[in-house]
């Protein structure tokens, strides 16, 4: 046995108040970008008992009925029972929308700023990460945590566990032996439920219908610890008891704490904001580097200045797992991947209403997104001489 370590990651369900806020912000973004692909959107949402507040800076040529978009999204999430304190039809909705600052716009619009190319919408450091632990090339703890929340939604929506409600969380601790995941040490699942069900039934059902449907049997053993609704009761939940805000689950959105995170959240931001688009490109780069066998893990770091197109710095960290010099990997990255805002947007086809789906169950590790493809791996492997 080698060195034993433990890594833990969490996820939250689509009905968690912070994720409700993320989904509302991205639903507004999708509604706008479907009509106006070049709109500038920075949409922030706060949810609390009986109230949704939507604010931000939006510059667009189209008109969107924001309250209608908000209500439809809340309905899709599952807040359809007026008895649980938050309801899609009866919640109050307040909006406060301004236009994007012209001083920012001039730096992002081609031909208007100090630099003629489309510049980054803000300064910042954007990170991407990939590793060989799972088929998704993601860390195992966050993959399993997301899948548990996906399964919670599935058993609720299909009526398999009819007493579940939208709010919930998961957490998975993995035991590693010399960097290799060998077993699940602890699983935590908390799910909102109706008042008429016992804790014993919830525990039995979630282990049987959620945990054991998601986590591979060979990763569970007699010593695996389960904490199901560990307070013993989770009837009052969602925005009725917990204020939610856009952008407060950035580690859930990315790599569960294994890879670094830059300074900005994703949801509610159009792709001219490199907080979002460059983070997607950084993941795409890291995933292709790992898929090509250039390294067993790779963290990509991109640094931008507002109004400037090219990244100020491109760096990687393979934690000693690189099969060729890291300097050579960086050369290949610069050669094969566009990293200007316009290049990223065009290459990843980001001016489409694809964002609401990113706001639940993670932005990475799901092959429905363009930045999850490994179509550059073959050329990287060839040019690396592997």
- CA 265, chain centre distance (Å): 9
Residue 211 CA, chain-centre distance (Å), reads: 21
Q: pTM to 2 decimals? A: 0.94
> Domain 4-13+140-238 belongs to what architecture?
2-Layer Sandwich (3.30)
- What does the pLDDT average to over 277-300? 98
For residue 109, pLDDT over 80 is answered with: no
* pLDDT for the residue 104: 55
pLDDT at 231 over 50: yes
Strands 225-228 and 297-304, sheet pairing: unpaired
Q: Please give the pLDDT value at position 115.
A: 53
pLDDT tier at 367 (50, 70, 90 boundaries)?
very high
**Cα–Cα–Cα angle for 171, 154, 133, nearest 5°?**
45
Window from 64-73, 117-126, 204-213, 314-323 with minimum mean pLDDT: 117-126
Calculate mean pLDDT across residues 31-56.
95
Q: Is residue 102 predicted with pLDDT exceeding 60?
A: no
Cα 356–336–36 angle (5° rounding)?
30
pLDDT above 80 (res 263): no
Q: Are 271 and 277 in contact (CB under 8 A)?
A: yes
- SS3 call for 32: helix
* Number of alpha carbons in the 13 Å side-chain half-sphere of residue 174: 25
Q: Which DSSP string corresponds to 237-278?
A: -GGGTS-EETTS-HHHHTTTTSS---S---TTB-TTSHHHHH
* Separation of first and last alpha carbons in the chain: 31
Query: 183: number of CA atoms within 13 Å, CB side?
Result: 9
pLDDT in tens, 204-226: 999 999 999 999 999 999 999 99
Residue 82 has a pLDDT of 86
124-133+247-384 to CATH, choices 3.90.45.10, 3.30.70.860, 3.90.79.10, 3.30.300.10: 3.30.300.10
Chain-wide mean pLDDT for the chain?
93
* Same fold? 17-105, 124-133+247-384: yes
Neighbour-count burial of 375, counting CB atoms closer than 10 A to its CB (0-12 exposed, 13-18 middle, 19+ buried) = exposed
- The reported pLDDT for the residue numbered 264 is 86
Architecture in CATH of 17-105:
2-Layer Sandwich (3.30)
Q: What residue spans define the domains of the chain?
A: 4-13+140-238, 17-105, 124-133+247-384
CB 128 within 8 A of CB 292: no
Residue 375 has pLDDT above 60, yes or no: yes
pLDDT digits (tens, 9 = 90+) for 336-349: 999 999 999 999 99
Confidence band, pLDDT 50/70/90 cuts, at residue 107? very low
Residue 185 has pLDDT above 60, yes or no: yes
pLDDT greater than 80 at residue 192: yes
How many Cα atoms within 13 Å fall on the side-chain side of residue 306?
Answer: 8
Collapse the DSSP code of 116 into the 3-class scheme (helix H, G, I; strand E, B; otherwise coil) and give the result. coil
- The pLDDT value recorded for residue 347 is 97
Q: What is the pLDDT of residues 289-333, one digit of tens each?
A: 999 999 999 999 999 998 888 899 999 999 999 999 999 999 999
Residue 112 pLDDT: 52
The residue with tokens 């049997």 is 217
């Amino acid at each position: 046995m080698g060195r034993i370590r433990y890594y833990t990651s969490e996820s939250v369900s689509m009905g968690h108040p912070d994720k409700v806020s993320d989904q509302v912000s991205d639903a507004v973004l999708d509604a706008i970008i479907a009509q106006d692909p070049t709109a500038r959107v920075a949409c922030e949402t706060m949810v609390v008992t009986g109230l949704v507040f939507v604010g931000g800076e939006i510059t667009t040529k189209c008109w969107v009925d924001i309250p209608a978009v908000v209500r439809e999204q809340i309905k899709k999430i599952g807040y359809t029972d007026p008895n649980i304190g938050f309801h899609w039809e009866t919640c109050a909705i307040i909006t406060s929308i301004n236009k994007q600052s012209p001083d920012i716009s001039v730096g992002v619009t081609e031909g208007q700023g100090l630099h003629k190319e489309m510049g980054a919408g803000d300064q910042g450091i954007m990170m991407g990460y990939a590793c060989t632990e799972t088929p998704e090339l993601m860390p195992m703890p966050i993959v399993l945590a997301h899948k548990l929340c996906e399964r919670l939604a599935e058993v609720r929506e299909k009526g398999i566990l009819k007493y579940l409600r939208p709010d919930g969380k998961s957490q998975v601790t993995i035991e590693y032996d010399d960097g290799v995941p060998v077993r699940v040490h602890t699983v935590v699942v908390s799910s909102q439920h109706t008042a008429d069900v016992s804790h014993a039934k919830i525990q039995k059902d979630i282990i049987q219908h959620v945990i054991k449907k998601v986590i591979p049997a060979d990763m569970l053993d007699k010593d695996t610890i389960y904490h199901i609704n560990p307070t013993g009761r989770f009837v009052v939940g969602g925005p009725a008891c917990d204020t939610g805000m856009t952008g407060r689950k950035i580690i859930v959105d990315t790599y569960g704490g294994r890879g670094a995170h830059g300074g900005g959240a994703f949801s509610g931001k159009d792709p001219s904001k490199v907080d979002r688009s460059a983070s997607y490109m950084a993941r795409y780069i890291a995933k292709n580097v790992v898929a090509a066998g250039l390294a067993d893990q790779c963290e990509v770091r991109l640094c931008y200045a507002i109004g400037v197109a090219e990244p100020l710095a491109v760096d990687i960290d393979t934690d000693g797992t690189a099969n060729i010099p890291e300097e050579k990997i960086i050369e290949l990255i610069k050669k094969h991947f566009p990293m200007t805002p316009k290049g990223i947007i065009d290459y990843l086809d980001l001016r489409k209403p694809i964002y609401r789906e990113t706001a639940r169950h993670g932005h990475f590790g799901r092959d429905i997104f363009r930045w999850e493809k490994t179509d550059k791996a073959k050329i990287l492997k060839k040019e690396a001489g592997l």
